[in-house]
Amino acid sequence: MRRALALARRSPAGDPNPQVGCVLLDPDARIVAEGWHRGAGTAHAETDALGRLPDGWRGRERELTAVVTLEPCNHTGRTGPCARALIEAGIGAVAYALDDPGRVSRGGAESLRAAGVEVASGLLADEAEDLLAPWLSVQEKPHRQWTVVKWAQTLDGRAAAADGSSRWITGPHARADVHRRRAEADAILVGTGTLLADDPELTARAADGAPLVPPAEQPLPVVLGRRAIPSESRVRRHPALREHGLEAPLRFDGNDLAAHVEELRRRGLQRLFVEGGPTIASAFLAAGLADEVLVYVAPALLGGPRLALGDLGIPSMEGIMRLEGAVVERLGEDLLVRARIPRIAGIGGE
């Protein structure tokens, strides 16, 4: 299953379809074929793996076990149902990690069992859920996308010095990690304060400035706030604008965050990366519109008033927002703390 999960990570992260991997095992648990989903309209992972089966195993499919990261789908969309493909191929057993939550696509396990296929579920479910969290979130909350709120801070919780300067709190390893995560997002959001202070490019780049992904895969820039974007701002030359038929970044005034993210979802965006500074980070968290936080912590002290987060609307310890599944990574001299927002939070709107 871990090999199937590794294959699933090759699937496009921002695609409407889930990232899925599949391996076919012989009776001695050796991999004889493997596949993954390459995006909407292409073969699903199970079909891809079946298509790569060596000639020596054709006609012997009953001896094989398919190990899949998500329950084989049970509906016909751009491609046929994966459960039916496995049944028609004669696969003897199927093990999968997560049940498919889709109202139309679920039920593949039942179809497999009805056809006499041995089925097991729940294998490494936590790891599969971690991989598929953005896609699962969109299935659960179709009105908005998976939203990651990121900030950098000193050990004493400051996002900037007293004079407002903030470059650079963290080192090159942490900044490289940010760009890698930007490349996985459909859109990147900042406020006009950050835009005017830092003139960011809002692109996913390597250390030498080269793009990490082509223009069509760069995160679409989104600006929150009423102040004008200067004509010379670098974000006006963002490579994704032309790919989306836009002449300028998407703009929202910030009066109704829930409506703004719903509009982004209507545009087909599934992953939003928020880098808007303390005011916007706090607003997304307080409104219950964040799913995950990425906090880059530098072993440094600044003191002063420039806190990384502002008021979250939590009056007492009874309302504390305790995060889930926290993971700590070392990035050079800095630390990354990654954690999920509970689905039912003590504050906010969901």
Angle, CA 262 vertex, CA 259 and CA 268 arms, to 5° = 150
Angle, CA 172 vertex, CA 9 and CA 275 arms, to 5° = 65
Cα 200 to chain centroid, rounded: 22
Residue among 46, 217, 275, 292 flagged as catalytic: 46
**Is residue 37 a contact partner of residue 10, using CB atoms and an 8 Å limit?**
no
Residue 150, both tokens: 């990121």
Residue 225 and residue 255: Cα distance in Å, rounded?
9
Antiparallel, parallel or unpaired: β 324-331 and 334-340: antiparallel
Residue 112 and residue 86: Cα distance in Å, rounded?
8
Active site residue 333: no
Cβ burial of 253 (10 Å; 0-12, 13-18, 19+) is exposed
Catalytic residue ranges: 46
